[in-house]
C-alpha cells in the first residue's frame, strides 16, 4: 500500500476582495511507495510547498483526495508516523536547541527519561550537542536546518517529508542532508522531499515527480525520465591532418585528437562514413544524455508556450 | 491529549516570561500600586479607601492589558511567523493547540496577578490594613482576565493582532457598560429595536459579575452567590467562546 496517495487534487486561492480564483494545483495525482526516496521537483512557485501543506493537513484541497499513511491528513493519526521539516525553518527562536527538541518530544508523548535520551541522541546525530544550550535565534541557517531535521526524526518516523531541505546550505551541509536521506532509506524509511537542486535529486532519488505550473509534468525513475533522450553525441577522433571533420562542432583539439559534438544521428552516420583513409579513425562515441535539468527546462518552456507567454 | 495541551501551555508560558513586554507591564503595575501610598496622602480621612481603590484598579487595568496584548497574537502570531507549520504537522488536534495556547496565557496571568496581588497586600499590611475582601476582589478580577483572554484568543484565530486588539478592548468596555442596555431599551419605541437590544445584551459579555471593587473598597457585603455566579458565567460564556475559537481554527488554512 502507498504511504502517500494524491488523486485529482486541486487547490486555488483568492486574493483579498477578489472573486477570481488562482489555481496553484490542478488534477494532481501520484503515489509514494514505502521505502523509496521520492523527489518532488519544480521551479519556484510550481506548487511544491502547497502540495506538502496539503499532504500534512495544513491546507485543505478544493477537489480530490489525499491519503497519508492510509488516513485523511487532517486527522492527527495520519501524522503519527510522519516527520516534517518545513522550508526555511521557522522555529520558536527564544528556545534553546535542547528546549526546542524537548518541547517537540513532549508533543509526541515521550516521557522522561525517554525524552532526555532521544533529545540527546538526536543532538549528537545532527552535530549540535555542543550548541544545545544556545538560543535558536543565535543559530546559523545550517544549524537551524540541522535542528529542524532533528525534530523531524525525534520519533523515528516511517515517513519523512522535507520541504527544500538543501536550499541555502553550503556544499558540506547539502552533503550531510543527502547522506541522512540515504541513511533513512537504508533503514527502510520513506523520504518525500521537494527541491529545485536537481543534481542531488538525480543521484539519490528512486523516483521523481516533476511539477510544472501546478500540474504533474512527469513522474518515474530518473533513468526512465531521461531514457532514450540522447540529445547529442560526443565523438573523439584521431585526426592527424590539419583540417576539420565535415560535420560537428569542435569542442577541443590536442595533438591529433579532436573532440566533436554531433547533434543528430544522421550527422553521426555521415561522420563515420567520412572516416575512410588519411589516418583518421574513431576513438570513442559517448551519447550525451539529457539531465533532469534539461527535461525540467523543456517542460517549463513547453508549458509557457502552451500558455502563450513570452520567454526572455 | 492533556500531555500535548500541557506541552503547548508550558511553551507559551516560557515564551511569555521571555517577553520584555510582560516585565514592562509588571514593573509599571507594581510602581503604580506603590504610588497608591503617595496618592492617599493627598486626601483627608479616606486614605485606606484610596489605597484599596487605586490598587485594585491598577491590577484590573494591567491584568486586562496583559491579557489583551498577549492574547491577540497568541494564535495569529504563530501563523504569521510560520512556527505553526511544524507544530500542526505533529499528531495533535488543532483544538489542542488553541487550548494549549490559552492555558499558557492563563498560567502567565496567574503568575502576573499573584505578583501584583502580593505587592498590593504587602503595601496594605505595611499600613496595618488586612481585608480578606481584597483577595476575593482580585480573584474575581482574575476570572475576568480569563474571559478577556478567551475573547482575545477567538479574535486571534479569526483576524490579525490590530483588529483583534480593537475588538477585544471594545468588548471589554461594552462588557462593563452592559447595564446601559436596559436604559437604552426603555427609550426605544420599535419592538424590533428593543428585541435587538435585548439580543445584544444577552450575546455580549457581561463583566459586571467580576467587578466587586466598589463593594470591597466601601465595605459593602457581597450578595450571596456572587462568586458562584461569576464562576458559572465564566465556565459557560468562556467555554462557548473557546469552543468557537477551536471551531474557527479547525478549518483555517495555513497559507
Of A79, A89, A148, the CB nearest to B91: A79
Report the number of distinct structural domains present in chain B: 1
Coil/strand/helix, residue A33: coil
**Residue range B44-67, pLDDT digits in tens:** 767 888 888 889 999 999 999 999
A88 contacts on B by Cβ (under 8 Å): 82
pLDDT, averaged across chain B: 92
C-alpha cell at B197: 437590544
Q: List pLDDT tens digits, range B158-186.
A: 989 999 999 999 999 999 999 899 899 88
Between CA A137 and CA A57 the distance in angstroms is: 28
Residue span of the structural domain in which B210 resides: 2-250
A257-262, strands of its sheet edge to edge: A249-254, A257-262, A230-238, A281-289
Q: What pLDDT score does A181 carry?
A: 93
Average pLDDT (A123-152) is 93
* Cβ separation A58–B81 shorter than 8 A: no
Residue of B nearest to A90 (CA): B83
Separation between Cα atoms, residue B54 and residue B217, nearest integer Å: 10
User: Which are the contacts of A148, defined by CB distance < 8 A and separation ≥ 6?
Assistant: A85, A86, A89, A91, B86
CA distance A180 to A162: 12
How far does CA B34 lie from the centroid of its chain? 22
Q: Quick one: how far is CA A196 from the chain centroid?
A: 6
Q: Mean pLDDT, to the nearest integer, of B112-116?
A: 94
Assess if residue B166 is contained within a domain.
yes
Query: Is A76 in contact with B81 (Cβ distance < 8 A)?
Result: no
Cβ of A57 and B88 within 8 Å? yes
Scanning every residue of chain A, which has its alpha carbon at the shortest distance from the alpha carbon of B250? Answer: A74
Q: Mean per-residue pLDDT for A176-204?
A: 90
Distance from CA of B160 to the nearest CA of A (A): 14
Note whether B85 contacts A104, CB cutoff 8 Å.
no
Distances (CA, A) of A139 to A92, A136, A145, A309: 12, 5, 9, 42
Q: Which three cell numbers stand for residue A78?
A: 495520519
Rounded Cα distance, A211 and A194, in Å:
10
The total of other beta-carbon atoms located within 10 Å of residue A204's CB is: 17
* Alpha carbon of B98: minimum distance to chain A alpha carbons (Å): 14
What is the C-alpha to C-alpha distance for residues B118 and B140, in angstroms, rounded to an integer?
16
Residue B255 lies inside a defined structural domain of this protein: no
pLDDT in tens, B132-150: 899 999 999 999 999 999 9
Return the pLDDT at A308.
Answer: 62
What is the model's pLDDT at position B164? Answer: 94
| B245 has pLDDT over 60 | yes
pTM: 0.85
What are the angstrom distances between the C-alpha of A312 and each of A309, B55, B225, B226? 10, 70, 77, 74
Name the residue in chain A with its Cα closest to that of B5. Answer: A107
| Closest Cβ opposite residue A90 in set B15, B18, B82 | B82
- A13/B85 CB distance under 8 A: no
Across the interface, which of A60, A86, A103 has its CB nearest the CB of B11? A103
| Res. B191 pLDDT band, cuts 50 70 90 | very high
Cα dist from B126 to A195, B30, B33, B34, B117, whole Å:
67, 15, 13, 11, 14
Does pLDDT of A310 surpass 60?
A: no
Decide if B12 contacts B100 (C-beta within 8 A).
yes
Segment A166-184 shows an average pLDDT of 88
Average pLDDT over residues A288-306: 76
Q: Is B40 a member of any domain? A: yes
- Nearest-Cα distance to chain B for A232, in Å, is 44
Percent of chain A surpassing pLDDT 70: 94
Query: Nearest-CA distance from B17 to chain A in Å?
Result: 10
Residues of A in contact with B83 (CB under 8 A): 90-92
Residue written as cell 588519411? A278
- Residue contact B83–A92, C-beta within 8 A: yes
- Is the preceding omega at residue A113 within 30 degrees of 0, hence cis? yes
- Asked if B87 and B165 touch (Cβ cutoff 8 Å), the reply is no
Dist. CA B194–CA B184, nearest whole Å: 8
Number of CB pairs, chain A paired with chain B, less than 8 A apart: 77
Residue A99 near residue B14, CB atoms below 8 Å:
yes
**Which of A211, A194, A225 has the alpha carbon at shortest distance from A39?**
A194
Among B3, B91, B253, select the one facing A77 at the smallest CB separation: B91
- Taking CB atoms and an 8 Å cutoff, what residues of chain A touch B80? none
Q: Is the pLDDT of residue A278 over 80?
A: no
| pLDDT computed for residue B236 by the predictor | 97
Whole-number mean pLDDT of chain A? 88
Which of B15, B90, B92, B108 to substitute to test the interface with A, most A CBs within 10 Å?
A: B90
The residues, ordered by sequence, that sit 6+ positions from A270 with a Cβ below 8 Å of its Cβ are A246, A247
Average pLDDT over residues A73-81: 94
Provide the shortest C-alpha distance from residue A107 to chain B (in Å).
5
Cα torsion angle, A291, A292, A293, A298, sign: positive
Task: Check pLDDT > 80 for residue B209.
Answer: yes
Contacts of B125 (CB under 8 A, 6+ apart): none
- C-alpha A151/C-alpha B145 separation (Å) is 35
Q: CB-based contacts of A259: which residues, under 8 Å, 6+ apart? A: A234, A235, A236, A250, A251, A252, A253
Do the domain assignments include residue B211? yes
Residue B217: inside a domain, yes or no? yes
A4-226 maps to which CATH number?
3.40.50.300
pLDDT > 70: what percent of chain B? 99
Q: Please give the grid coordinates belonging to residue A231.
A: 540529445
In this complex, do B18 and A60 lie within 8 Å of one another by their Cβ atoms?
Answer: no
Closest CA to A260 of A286, A240, A278: A286
B92/A76 CB distance under 8 A: yes
Would you give the DSSP letter of residue A137? G
**Which residue from B15, B86, B89 is facing A94, i.e. has the nearest CB?**
B15
Whether the pLDDT of residue A173 is over 90: the answer is no
Around Cβ B18, how many Cβ atoms within 10 Å?
A: 13
Which residues of B lie closer than 8 Å to A, measured between beta carbons?
Answer: 3-4, 6-8, 10-11, 14-15, 18, 81-83, 85-93, 251, 253-255
Test B89 with A76 for CB contact under 8 angstroms. Answer: no
Question: Chain B residues with CB inside 8 Å of A91's CB?
Answer: 83, 86
B89, A58: Cβ pair inside 8 Å?
yes
Q: Which chain A residues touch B if contact means CB-CB below 8 Å?
A: 13, 53, 56-60, 76-77, 79-80, 82, 84, 86, 88-92, 94-95, 99, 103-104, 106-109, 148, 151, 161
Nearest chain B residue to A86 by CA distance is B86
Which parts of chain A fold into alpha helices (H)? 48-55, 97-107, 114-125, 141-153, 171-186, 198-204, 222-226, 265-274, 292-306
Tell me, what DSSP letter sits at residue A132? T
Residue B41 has pLDDT above 60, yes or no: yes
C-alpha–C-alpha distance, residues B70 and B19, integer Å: 10
- Alpha-carbon gap, residue B16 to A126, rounded angstroms: 29
Identify the pLDDT of residue A312.
42
Instruction: Report chain A residues whose CB lies below 8 A from the CB of B8.
Output: 107
Report whether pLDDT(A29) > 60.
Answer: yes
pLDDT at position A297 is 80
- Structure confidence at residue B1 (pLDDT): 61
In the predicted structure, residue A228 carries a pLDDT above the cut 80: no
Percent of chain B exceeding pLDDT 90 equals 69
Of residues B235 and A172, the one with the higher pLDDT is B235
CB contact under 8 A, B251 and A60: yes
d(CA B134, CA B121): 8
Amino acid at each position: 500500500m502507498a504511504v502517500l496517495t494524491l488523486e485529482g487534487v486541486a487547490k486555488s486561492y483568492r486574493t483579498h476582495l477578489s472573486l477570481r480564483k488562482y489555481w496553484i494545483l490542478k488534477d494532481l495525482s501520484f503515489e509514494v511507495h514505502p521505502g523509496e526516496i521520492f523527489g518532488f521537483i519544480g521551479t519556484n512557485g510550481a506548487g511544491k510547498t502547497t502540495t506538502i501543506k496539503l499532504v500534512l493537513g495544513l491546507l485543505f484541497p478544493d477537489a480530490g483526495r489525499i491519503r497519508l499513511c492510509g488516513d485523511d491528513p487532517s486527522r492527527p493519526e495520519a501524522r503519527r508516523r510522519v516527520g516534517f521539516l518545513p522550508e526555511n525553518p521557522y522555529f520558536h527562536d527564544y528556545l534553546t536547541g535542547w528546549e526546542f527538541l524537548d518541547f517537540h518530544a513532549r508533543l509526541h508523548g515521550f516521557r522522561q527519561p525517554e525524552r532526555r535520551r532521544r533529545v540527546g541522541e538526536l543532538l549528537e546525530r545532527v552535530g549540535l550537542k555542543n550548541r544545545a544550550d544556545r538560543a535558536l535565534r543565535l543559530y546559523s541557517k545550517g544549524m537551524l536546518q540541522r535542528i529542524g531535521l532533528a525534530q523531524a526524526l525525534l520519533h523515528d518516523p516511517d515517513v519523512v517529508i522535507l520541504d527544500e531541505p538543501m536550499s541555502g546550505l553550503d556544499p558540506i551541509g547539502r552533503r550531510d542532508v543527502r547522506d541522512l536521506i540515504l541513511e533513512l532509506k537504508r533503514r527502510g524509511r520513506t523520504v518525500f522531499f521537494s527541491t529545485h537542486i536537481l543534481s542531488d535529486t538525480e543521484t539519490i532519488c528512486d523516483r521523481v515527480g516533476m511539477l510544472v505550473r501546478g500540474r504533474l509534468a512527469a513522474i518515474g525513475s530518473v533513468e526512465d525520465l531521461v531514457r532514450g533522450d540522447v540529445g547529442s553525441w560526443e565523438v573523439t577522433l584521431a585526426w592527424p591532418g590539419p583540417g576539420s571533420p565535415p560535420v560537428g562542432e569542435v569542442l577541443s583539439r590536442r595533438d591529433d585528437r579532436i573532440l566533436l559534438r554531433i547533434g543528430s544521428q544522421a550527422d553521426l552516420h555521415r561522420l563515420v562514413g567520412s572516416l575512410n583513409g588519411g589516418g583518421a579513425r574513431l576513438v570513442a562515441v559517448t551519447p550525451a544524455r539529457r539531465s533532469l535539468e534539461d527535461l525540467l527546462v523543456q517542460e517549463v518552456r513547453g508549458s509557457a508556450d502552451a500558455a502563450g507567454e513570452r520567454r526572455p | 491529549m492533556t500531555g500535548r495541551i500541557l506541552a503547548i501551555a508550558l511553551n507559551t508560558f516560557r515564551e511569555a516570561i521571555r517577553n520584555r513586554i510582560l516585565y514592562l507591564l509588571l514593573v509599571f503595575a507594581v510602581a503604580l500600586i506603590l504610588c497608591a501610598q503617595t496618592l492617599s496622602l493627598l486626601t483627608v480621612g479616606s486614605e485606606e479607601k484610596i489605597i484599596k481603590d487605586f490598587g485594585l484598579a491598577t491590577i484590573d487595568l494591567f491584568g486586562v492589558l496583559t491579557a489583551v496584548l498577549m492574547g491577540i497574537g497568541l494564535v495569529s502570531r504563530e501563523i504569521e511567523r510560520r512556527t505553526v507549520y511544524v507544530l500542526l504537522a505533529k499528531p495533535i488536534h488543532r483544538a489542542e493547540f488553541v487550548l494549549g495556547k490559552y492555558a499558557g496565557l492563563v498560567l502567565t496571568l496567574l503568575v502576573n496577578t499573584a505578583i501584583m496581588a502580593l505587592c498590593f497586600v504587602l503595601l496594605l499590611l505595611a499600613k496595618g490594613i488586612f481585608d480578606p475582601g481584597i483577595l476575593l476582589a482580585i480573584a474575581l478580577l482574575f476570572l475576568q482576565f480569563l474571559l478577556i483572554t478567551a475573547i482575545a484568543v477567538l479574535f486571534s484565530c479569526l483576524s490579525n493582532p490590530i483588529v483583534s486588539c480593537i475588538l477585544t478592548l471594545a468588548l471589554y468596555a461594552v462588557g462593563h457598560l452592559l447595564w446601559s442596555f436596559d436604559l437604552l431599551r426603555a427609550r426605544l419605541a420599535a419592538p424590533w429595536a428593543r428585541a435587538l437590544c435585548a439580543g445584544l445584551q444577552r450575546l455580549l459579555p457581561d463583566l459586571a459579575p467580576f467587578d466587586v471593587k466598589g463593594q470591597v473598597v466601601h465595605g459593602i457585603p457581597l450578595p450571596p452567590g456572587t462568586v458562584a455566579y461569576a464562576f458559572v458565567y465564566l465556565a459557560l460564556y468562556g467555554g462557548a467562546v473557546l469552543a468557537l475559537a477551536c471551531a474557527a481554527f479547525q478549518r483555517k488554512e495555513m497559507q
